[in-house]
Amino acid sequence: MRRVPAGRPVSERREGLTPGEPPAGAVSRAALTERVRRAALDCGFDRVGFAPADPPAHADTYRAWLGRGHHGAMGYMAREDAVRRRLDPREALEGCRTIIVVTLVYGPGEVAGDAGMPGDPVPGRAMVARYARGRDYHDVFEERLDRLIDVLAAETPGASFRRYVDYGPVLERDHAQRAGLGWIGKNTMLIHPDDGSYVMLGELLTDLDLAPDDPFLPDRCGTCRRCLDACPTDAILPDRTIDARRCISYLTIELRGSIPVELRPAMGTRVFGCDICQEVCPWNADAPTPEIAPFAAPGTPVPPETLVEWAGELARLDDDGFRERYRGTAFRRPGRDGLLRNLAVGLGNTGSADARAMLERLVDDRSELVAEHARWGLARIEGTGPDER
Ligand code: SF4
């Protein structure tokens, strides 16, 4: 694992933004662009790029994806006003001229390779996507983007800004590619040749006229198709989109109801998100991991490591207790019942004696969603067929 040092010292970071400099209006477009770039790096982002506020290049692919219903139950993505804003940044911010795209590298981290596989030193480990091991990244991005807005607003009075982190109506990877920050791989992730794809994106829309970066044009996937072959639910499609309805990330985080029975065995012990298509990607083989993880923070709730321990904890919590326990983490998204549902599937897929005992408890859970998945898990362990409920 390649480790990289955390950001530059603060004293160095502030250089160039000292009070008393000429107002932004007096500097050239190129100089202003560089000041904004430096300000973004000073705010703790790893990379920054600038894209023109043009409609995204993959607008047709996006519309076709929606048309096929591949967004699943994420109906908010198909709302006409949201689609309009996704396909034209000026609908999201009047007069938008530039999209400032920022990245945070979180890297493969310590838990890689054999985690969750035979030989893992933690038997029955609950697998969690790497980005979720710490604070909710939305909160981290929002804090840093707000800091950046404060700096830029002071430098450029009258300018408008609007920030987005993942949830917003912007096709973020399209803009990131256009801002020169990498290419969109066959697994649909943005891949930077040095950083790999364990990278989170944020965007700042602005009416400032900044000089765009050169787009990243090469497709460095070449003939590789490891991610397509490795995806256990065949969710990755040849047109570089995902059928969300089959994607383990969607099933474990976004889906509110019952997980399709035919997909449950393929989930294995992945109970929150999935990194498989990134783990197999050769561009992540030497991806850097920051010395200080961007989403790490003292006091951030850490869930128990194993499926059995985590399920036991959640079974004892009511919704209020769950929200209190996991405040500030991404685990709030599926909620107590959604997580316990996922854990029941994972327990059924391990089949250990401990797992069986826990599932026998969960069949009496107050949530019918959890109880139904626990019944499925028990039936799977007892060999009465994975389709049993
Ligand atoms: Fe591209 Fe191969 Fe990585 Fe998939 S695994 S994103 S095909 S390089």
> What residues contact residue 283 under an 8 Å CB cut-off, 6+ apart?
185, 191, 193, 196, 197, 220
Ligand 1: atom nearest CA of 236 is: 4
* Separation between Cα atoms, residue 336 and residue 371, nearest integer Å: 13
**Mutate which of 173, 195, 275, 281 to test ligand 1's pocket (most atoms within 8 Å of Cβ)?**
281
Identify the pLDDT of residue 335.
97
Q: Cβ distance 273 to 100 under 8 Å?
A: no
Burial class of 338 by CB neighbour count within 10 A (0 to 12, 13 to 18, 19+)? buried
Identify the pLDDT of residue 113.
47
First-residue to last-residue Cα distance in the chain: 42
Hey, is 269 helix, strand or coil?
coil
CA distances 21 to 11, 16, 105, 155, Å, are 17, 8, 32, 9
Q: 99 forms bridges with which residues in the sheet?
A: 51, 205
239 catalytic per annotation: no
187 Cα: distance to centroid of ligand 1 (angstroms): 6
* Separation between Cα atoms, residue 55 and residue 180, nearest integer Å: 16
Identify the pLDDT of residue 1.
52
238 Cα: distance to centroid of ligand 1 (angstroms): 12
H and E: helices and strands count for the chain = 16, 10
* Separation between Cα atoms, residue 13 and residue 43, nearest integer Å: 8
Q: Containing H/E element for 87?
A: helix 80-87
Q: Which of 80, 69, 61, 75 is nearest to 243 (CA)?
A: 69
Residue type at position 15: E
Which residue has its alpha carbon closest to ligand 1 atom 5? 281
Q: Containing H/E element for 86?
A: helix 80-87
**Mutate which of 173, 177, 187 to test ligand 1's pocket (most atoms within 8 Å of Cβ)?**
187
* Separation between Cα atoms, residue 216 and residue 351, nearest integer Å: 46
Identify the pLDDT of residue 117.
63
244 Cα: distance to centroid of ligand 1 (angstroms): 18
List per-residue pLDDT tens for the chain, 389 residues long: 555 544 332 222 333 343 334 455 568 999 999 999 999 999 999 999 999 999 888 888 888 899 999 999 888 888 888 888 888 999 999 999 999 999 999 998 865 445 666 667 788 999 999 999 889 999 999 999 999 999 999 999 999 999 999 766 568 999 999 999 999 999 999 999 999 999 999 999 999 999 999 999 999 999 999 999 999 999 999 989 999 999 999 999 999 999 999 999 999 999 999 999 999 999 999 999 988 788 888 788 899 999 999 999 999 999 999 999 999 999 999 999 999 999 999 999 998 999 999 999 999 999 999 999 999 999 999 987 545 44
* DSSP state letters, 340-378: HHHHHHHHHHH--HHHHHHHHHHTT-S-HHHHHHHHHHH
